[in-house]
Amino acid sequence: MNFMRTTIAIAVLSLLSPALPAPGQVPEALLPAPTNVPEALIPAPTNLLAHSLAAKEAKAAWDELQTASHPPPAPAEWQTKEPDEKEQAKFFLPYVLALVDKAKDFYTRFPKDSHAGEARKEEFEMTGMAIARYGATNQQPRLEAEEKALLADPTLSEDDRLSIRQEQVGRAAEAKAAESEAAATAEYEKGARALQKEFPKRPEVLQMLLEVASNSEGDKARILLSEVTNSPAATAEIKEAAAGELKKLERLGKPVEMQFTAVDGRAVDVSKMKGKVVLIDFWATWCPPCVDELPRVKAAYDQFHPKGLEIVGVSLDREKESLTGFVAAHKMEWPEYFDGLEDNKFAVQCGIEGIPAMWLIDKKGNLRDINARSGLSAKVEKLLAE
């Protein structure tokens, strides 16, 4: 079971929040994987920070571009001190921007070469990397121009065309995220519908609609899941995922069985919390979106716990020390479940495929909401008033 998939605001736009590397490691996603260039063909020297290619002939220029795609050696001090995002950006961004210009230099000087299209794609991908990972937002106009040029290329493969269009949809949804998660979801669905017309046979578009369904409620979610399941383009995997989402919807209005001993020794039994509104938070310390949600969860707890809100955490962490240290540092007062297993007991039992995920249980002990992240405080207040 893959718990790395997150909900729409992040899953669709994961490019915008890449993980940091371990100390001393060069991030694998920094540059495209280099091709195996025979040593005898490598132009020497290759200046990684130069913005143009030294080679005069197409073949040598292509070899030089591939050599420039090798990540530079990380600073020695990173072996003992993990760099922060600003330090990484300061070091790597000049190399990325140089590679972007080298790629453009290649396809500009050799437009009829068989590798010209690859160079144009490399320019586009690295410009996106400069913006998303290293904060070079001044490159956004360039990215959009590169994107437009690629989409206008009749030789662009359908796979690449779909990938670019998905990125456009993701950016449009991200722009709406400042308004609300609901606005971002609506924008994402709008974009997915447009892609459905452009790529009617591609299962990736159905996967996007499945994401929309997982962030929707009631009849809206059921209609979307039925559409996805019955589509001729649906793969067995997508149908299985849709069935899992439908199964979660079937839980609404029914009791939730969850009993365990928390990491701090407290005995927890959700069935004995009747009279309280209970938030079940499926999360992990390694999940950036989960950590981003913490201030809102704590604010809800501080405001509504005196009025009858309880929170039960279900941690998908693999290391107990990571969980207990985080809980103590952030003064999280509610109990946490931990089993350290890849297939977390309660996550499997509840059909959780992505985190963060939040469920709300009403005072009668019945599950009322499986998408509690959106408008959490208002939903809690409404249930407390019943």
* Whether residue 309 sits in one domain with residue 206: no
For the sheet containing 367-369, what is the strand order?
336-337, 309-315, 277-283, 357-361, 367-369
At 191 the pLDDT is 96
Q: Which helix (H) or strand (E) holds 249?
A: helix 236-250
Angle between helices 181-198 and 158-177 (to 10 degrees): 160
In a domain, 16, yes or no: no
In a domain, 12, yes or no: no
CATH code of the domain covering residue 298: 3.40.30.10
* Whether residue 31 sits in one domain with residue 143: yes
Percent of the chain residues past pLDDT 90, beyond the cut? 67
- CA proximity to 361, closest of 314, 310, 293, 305: 310
Domain span including residue 288: 259-385
Residues 232-247, mean pLDDT to the nearest whole number: 90
* Whether residue 78 sits in one domain with residue 139: yes
Please provide the average confidence, as pLDDT, over all residues in the chain: 86
Tell me the C-alpha distance between 214 and 370, whole Å. 9
Tell me the C-alpha distance between 144 and 124, whole Å. 9
State the residue for tokens 């010209």.
Answer: 116
Boundary (domain end) residue, out of 114, 133, 156: 156
In a domain, 8, yes or no: no
Can you point out the beta strands (E) in the chain? 259-261, 267-269, 277-283, 309-315, 336-337, 357-361, 367-369
pLDDT tens digits for range 241-285: 898 888 888 889 999 999 999 999 999 999 999 999 999 999 999
Tell me the C-alpha distance between 357 and 375, whole Å. 13
Residues 303-320, mean pLDDT to the nearest whole number: 96
At 361 the pLDDT is 96
State whether residue 4 is helix, strand or coil: strand
When divided into structural domains, the chain yields a total of: 3
Tell me the C-alpha distance between 132 and 178, whole Å. 17
Boundary (domain end) residue, out of 216, 250, 284: 250
Q: Residue 141: pLDDT above 90?
A: yes
- Tokens found for residue 324: 């207990």
Tell me the C-alpha distance between 257 and 317, whole Å. 21
* Whether residue 368 sits in one domain with residue 309: yes
| DSSP tag of 21 | P
- CA proximity to 256, closest of 248, 244, 264, 246: 248
At 45 the pLDDT is 57
Beta-carbon neighbour count of residue 241 at 10 Å?
Answer: 23
* Whether residue 146 sits in one domain with residue 122: yes
State whether residue 255 is helix, strand or coil: strand
* Whether residue 107 sits in one domain with residue 90: yes
* Whether residue 224 sits in one domain with residue 197: yes
Boundary (domain end) residue, out of 199, 216, 250: 250
- CA proximity to 283, closest of 333, 356, 219: 356
In a domain, 61, yes or no: yes
In a domain, 17, yes or no: no
Between 204 and 182, the higher pLDDT residue: 204
pLDDT tens digits for range 64-95: 999 998 878 888 899 888 888 899 999 999 99
In a domain, 6, yes or no: no
In a domain, 145, yes or no: yes
Within 8 A by CB and 6+ apart from 108, the residues are none
Q: Residue 21: pLDDT above 80?
A: no
pLDDT tens digits for range 296-305: 999 999 999 9
* Whether residue 138 sits in one domain with residue 42: yes
* Whether residue 228 sits in one domain with residue 152: no
Say what the pTM is.
Answer: 0.67
Tell me the C-alpha distance between 97 and 277, whole Å. 52
State whether residue 334 is helix, strand or coil: coil
Tell me the C-alpha distance between 129 and 21, whole Å. 15
- Tokens found for residue 105: 């230099």
* Whether residue 181 sits in one domain with residue 270: no
267-269 and 336-337 strand pairing:
unpaired
Distances (CA, A) of 203 to 2, 194, 207, 239: 19, 14, 6, 10
* Whether residue 216 sits in one domain with residue 273: no
* Whether residue 332 sits in one domain with residue 315: yes
Residues in the chain: 386
In a domain, 68, yes or no: yes
Residues 174-180, mean pLDDT to the nearest whole number: 86
- CA proximity to 356, closest of 281, 252, 279, 263: 281
CB of 43 closer than 8 Å to CB of 63: yes
